[in-house]
Structure 1
Amino acid sequence: MDDIDNSYRSTDSISIESLSRGVAIAPGTCGELVQGAIQGEPFLVTCPVDLWSEVTVELNPGKCPDGYLDKSSSALKLTLDYLGFAASDVNIKRKSILPEGKGMGSSTADIAATCLATARAFGRELPPEVISKIAARIEPTDGQMFPGIVMCNHITGEPKRYLGNAPPLDLVIADPGGSVDTVLFNCRKDLASKNFQKEPMIKQALELVTRGLLTEDWEMMGRGATISAQANQVVLPKPHLAQWRQWAAEMGALGVVVAHSGTVTGMILSPLSPHCREVADYIKKKKPEWKVWTTTMINGGLR
């Protein structure tokens, strides 16, 4: 893994007999506050939420890995390679409330938590810069392993800018159904041209979100997120976005956020809005077939 800073590698000798158990948890996301490309470089601005994936890694327990956790298994192998170790008997256990294929960062959460849990089984910690680059080798990655709210290149895993702390705001998230494969989405032949088409709006969205986070002007941040959501209609249209924006306005929300490569839409509530459960109940009455969550925006970072 030559593209990852090796200053964090262990130089100590650890025998296979000393291997133990590591646990880590990673937050999911409500899509992204902003996502697109500027001058051809793809990026996203994270939107971590208080919904989690927990991964436990037991090294040398005499058990085989869970076969269905392919991405976590890849993350474990890459992490062991990075640390300079190999283990044949490894068990990975995952507990997650994050749905897959919706744009809520479930894969990144599983991968990131697996990386850190593996390192912790050796008594080590890994910085988010290493974890994100390992994750990017498996698939395009969200950036919820970084503290706070960050702008990062989701293709390379490289962090670009720390934008500030997450606002203490409630979110209502809705999923009308379906799924999106992140890998296939980012392989679309028309993606670069679509990103170029929406670049002016994305620049505006990024400026508003950046300034809003810097000045704690959450209404400005919400406007930026809404612009990015609307701009993404040329890439991955949300059929119900206009209706969702109308409901957000009725609820006095600060703005809307979407999974730019997923199915979910979110509503960023104002402290003056009705309680998030009331808003969720309102949405459920309008669309009983939708899956609806209530949560809170939080700082990123693994625990």
Structure 2
Amino acid sequence: MDFINCANGTAISKDVIQFKQGFAAAPGTCGELVQGVIRGEPFLVSCPVDLWSEVTVELSSEGDSVAHLDKSCRALQHSLAYLGVRANCVSMTRKSPLPEGKGMASSTADIAATCLATARACGRELPPEVIAGIAARVEPSDGQMFPGIMMINHLTGEPKRYLGQAPPLEMVIADPGGSIDSVLFNCRRDLASKNFQKEPMVRQALELVTRGLLTGDWEMLGRGTSISAQANQVLLPKQHLSLWRQWASEFRALGVIVAHSGTIMGMLMRPDGLEPREVALYIQRKKPDWKVWHTTLINGGLR
């Protein structure tokens, strides 16, 4: 659990002190179902999973400033500005199992939960569109604050298309190691040319994922996510993706998923297939230096 005090030495006004504590939780992701650029517009399709960042916000005039959650502090300040509330010193606690720099949208989860917890501390609620806009002002963000599975412009936070409800599928996730800074990644000079290069495959992937979600065809969904994962090799090659796809085939998984600007790889398991726990244990034995675990694909939305 992390504690932070976003203080700048200014006392909180008396009316602010009367506000209550606020709590909110946001899910992380297993990378993205699809990510790329179509006709010049960047987008991603969120892949929320059942791992949550929990944030509590409380007004306070005491405590030392801590900088390691500065993104959450900026989100808190943007939220207060949107709400029209003056509060220069707010304490936060965060509890999250999501690793940083891996592509599991840990920062977006922290930011989204902070926005909503701040609003609730003021007796208010914030719609997901507002939270997404605030998140995008802090850094490129995922779309797990929206209900269901959403396609968004991750640079602006603008929701583009609601694609449906998440299927009840288990997932195996592996992290071979390393980390990626999403802000620096989105500033790469070759980003536009690489995205243009992979656009035909991204179009195909988006079509399959969209149709798969619409019709409940999970095999079609898995083919789409696998195509997007492979297309991203021109932009951020994953050394072990071929092995991961081989294992997915051996386990008769529906398909693979990657963090398009991160390190993790995921595997969509069949509802009537192998036990995800056993698959995770098998991979962990084969790759003891990896971190391997399993979780569930869920609908987006904050709680």
Instruction: Place the TM-score, normalised by the shorter chain, in its bin.
Output: over 0.9
Which whole-Å CA distance do the structure 1 matches of 2:287 and 2:186 have between them? Answer: 30
TM-fit CA distance, 1:16: 1.4
Amino acid at match of 1:158: E
Partner of 2:20: 20
Partner of 1:261: 261
| SS of equivalent residue, structure 2 residue 45 | strand
Partner of 1:68: 68
RMSD: 1.0
User: Which has the higher mean CA deviation after the structures are superposed, 57-66 or 257-266?
Assistant: 57-66
Aligned length: 290
Matches within 5 A, 1:181-200: 181-200=181-200
Matched, 1:239 2:239: yes
Matches within 5 A, 1:1-303: 15-60=15-60, 62-64=62-64, 66-303=66-303
Which whole-Å CA distance do the structure 2 matches of 1:59 and 1:166 have between them? Answer: 36
Partner of 1:9: none
Distance 1:87 1:227, change over 3 A: same
**For structure 1, which runs of at least 5 residues remain unmatched after alignment?**
1-13
User: Normalized against structure 2, the TM-score is what?
Assistant: 0.94
Which whole-Å CA distance do the structure 1 matches of 2:181 and 2:36 have between them? Answer: 17
Cα contact 1:19–1:60 (8 A) shared by 2 = no
Which whole-Å CA distance do the structure 2 matches of 1:111 and 1:290 have between them? Answer: 28
Residues 45-102 of structure 1 show CA distances to partners (whole Å, capped at 9, x for unaligned) of 0000001100010013634454321111000001001111121221011000000000
| SS of equivalent residue, structure 1 residue 118 | helix
What is the percent sequence identity of the aligned residues?
A: 72
Which whole-Å CA distance do the structure 2 matches of 1:15 and 1:65 have between them? Answer: 23
Residues 118-160 of structure 1 show CA distances to partners (whole Å, capped at 9, x for unaligned) of 0000110000000000000000000000000010000000000
Which whole-Å CA distance do the structure 2 matches of 1:191 and 1:48 have between them? Answer: 25
Partner of 2:9: none
Which whole-Å CA distance do the structure 1 matches of 2:221 and 2:150 have between them? Answer: 14
User: Normalized against structure 1, the TM-score is what?
Assistant: 0.94
Which whole-Å CA distance do the structure 2 matches of 1:77 and 1:48 have between them? Answer: 26
TM-fit CA distance, 1:30: 0.2
Cα contact 2:17–2:59 (8 A) shared by 1 = no
Amino acid at match of 1:39: R
Cα contact 1:213–1:221 (8 A) shared by 2 = yes
Which whole-Å CA distance do the structure 2 matches of 1:276 and 1:86 have between them? Answer: 48
| SS of equivalent residue, structure 2 residue 150 | strand
Residues 219-266 of structure 1 show CA distances to partners (whole Å, capped at 9, x for unaligned) of 000000000000000000000001000000111100000000000000
Amino acid at match of 2:98: L
Amino acid at match of 1:121: A
Moved over 4 A (4+): none
Amino acid at match of 1:183: V
Cα contact 1:28–1:51 (8 A) shared by 2 = yes
Which whole-Å CA distance do the structure 2 matches of 1:209 and 1:195 have between them? Answer: 19
Which whole-Å CA distance do the structure 2 matches of 1:276 and 1:212 have between them? Answer: 22
Cα contact 1:72–1:110 (8 A) shared by 2 = yes
**For structure 2, which runs of at least 5 residues remain unmatched after alignment?**
1-13
Which whole-Å CA distance do the structure 1 matches of 2:73 and 2:207 have between them? Answer: 38
| SS of equivalent residue, structure 1 residue 15 | helix
Cα contact 2:48–2:297 (8 A) shared by 1 = yes
Which whole-Å CA distance do the structure 2 matches of 1:65 and 1:253 have between them? Answer: 47
Distance 1:114 1:65, change over 3 A: farther
User: Which has the higher mean CA deviation after the structures are superposed, 32-41 or 67-76?
Assistant: 67-76
